[in-house]
Amino acid sequence: MNETRRPTLQIARFPSNATCAVTTSWDDNDTMNLEIMKILDSMGMRGTFYVDSGNPRWTNNGLADSDLRTIAMRHEVGSHTWSHVDCRKCDARTLRDELTRSKEYIEGVLREPVHGFAYPYGEYSSVSENVARESGYLFARTTVQGNVEFPPANPFLWGISVWALDLSPYFLKEIVSRTVLNSMGRLYVRNFAWDWRRLTLRLLEKARVANGVLHIFGHALEVLRPKLKSQFLEVCSKLAFRKDVWYATNGMLFLNERIRESVRITPHHDSENQFLFSVDAEPPFDISPEMIPMPLRLTIPEGWRDFQVQVSAASSGRVETGRVGRQEWIDIFDRSAKITVSRH
């Protein structure tokens, strides 16, 4: 039979038939993060909360261990160093202590791995980048804006898309001329945006075209001020519950890449009207199949009018599928499965 008439099975970019992903991240150990969490929950969105548990600033209003466990039930808790040090001003020994102590503390509270680290103030150095890698993190986040492509070339210098920040006190001329906001000003001008809400929607469209990630970053203390909170709710309402978006934590994005890299598809040609595929994944470390599935896309040749797809997962049995035209998306919440395509 002509090979072009065979169904094809490929590894998808994201689960859930998504063309792009949306994620958010929040810095500091502020209890106001719990309100951010509730907003995200109401919108079906996810966030990663980077905490600096040993920072004396949060002695009276920091997140308790029980709060961290509540956040981790649906979202993610990451490291923001132990005491919120400026990574540019620390030697390797100090940084190693800060990053390791923070990671071990959070893992002790949650009883699960901490995958991500966020540089305090968004500032980093080659030393801090290396220490983050050596300390067992999977990625490290900066606050460099404008990024939608994923995965990043360097996972330890991963930037954001947009900072949820009210720029109305500044005129465009001031934004462009101020040294500290110069790159931000260029980003807004380049995208024909005058505030972060418009920039967010522009970057969402770019993420969809690039099969990338829209990443909103902020601080609860800023975002929950009345004016910015209203803007944030407006943006979330426009991003929420889209069928073509995968809503993920920061860590889920990188774990998804590890799964995708490990998937192996073996096609078998059983007969003229039936095709079998074996699918296996062996990620480099333990990743819960219940959280990150194997994302697959099955394409049926033109001319096939009546066909059936059966998916058999090895152990969990959990599979999610959907059909759009001649494509069937398949998310397998297991590490081994068989897919049979029958033509009638």
Element (DSSP H or E) covering residue 85 = none
The model's pLDDT over 252-265, given as tens digits with 9 standing for 90+, comes to: 999 999 999 999 99
CATH homologous superfamily of 20-243: Glycoside hydrolase/deacetylase (3.20.20.370)
Strand partners, 158: 141
Please report the pLDDT score of residue 1 as a whole number. Answer: 44
Cis peptide before 151 (omega within 30 of 0): yes
Tokens 């940084």 map to which residue?
95
Q: Residue 168 burial by CB count (10 A; 0-12/13-18/19+): exposed, middle or buried? A: exposed
The model's pLDDT over 177-227, given as tens digits with 9 standing for 90+, comes to: 554 457 787 898 899 888 999 999 999 999 999 999 999 999 999 999 999
Q: How would residue 171 be classed by pLDDT, with cut points 50, 70 and 90?
A: very low
- Both structure tokens of 29: 């150990």
The model's pLDDT over 31-85, given as tens digits with 9 standing for 90+, comes to: 999 999 999 999 999 999 999 999 999 988 899 999 999 999 999 999 999 999 9
Helix residue ranges, H only, the chain: 33-43, 65-72, 92-110, 126-134, 172-177, 182-190, 196-210, 220-223, 226-239, 250-262
Percent of the chain with pLDDT over 70: 94
Report helix angle 226-239 to 33-43, nearest 10.
30
Residue 234 in this model has a pLDDT that exceeds 90: yes
Contact 236, 223 (CB under 8 A): no
Average pLDDT, the chain: 93
Domain spans in the chain, listed from the N-terminal domain onward: 3-13+262-343, 20-243
- The model carries a pTM of 0.94
Q: Is domain 3-13+262-343 annotated with CATH 2.60.40?
A: yes
HSE of 270, CA atoms in CB hemisphere, 13 A:
13
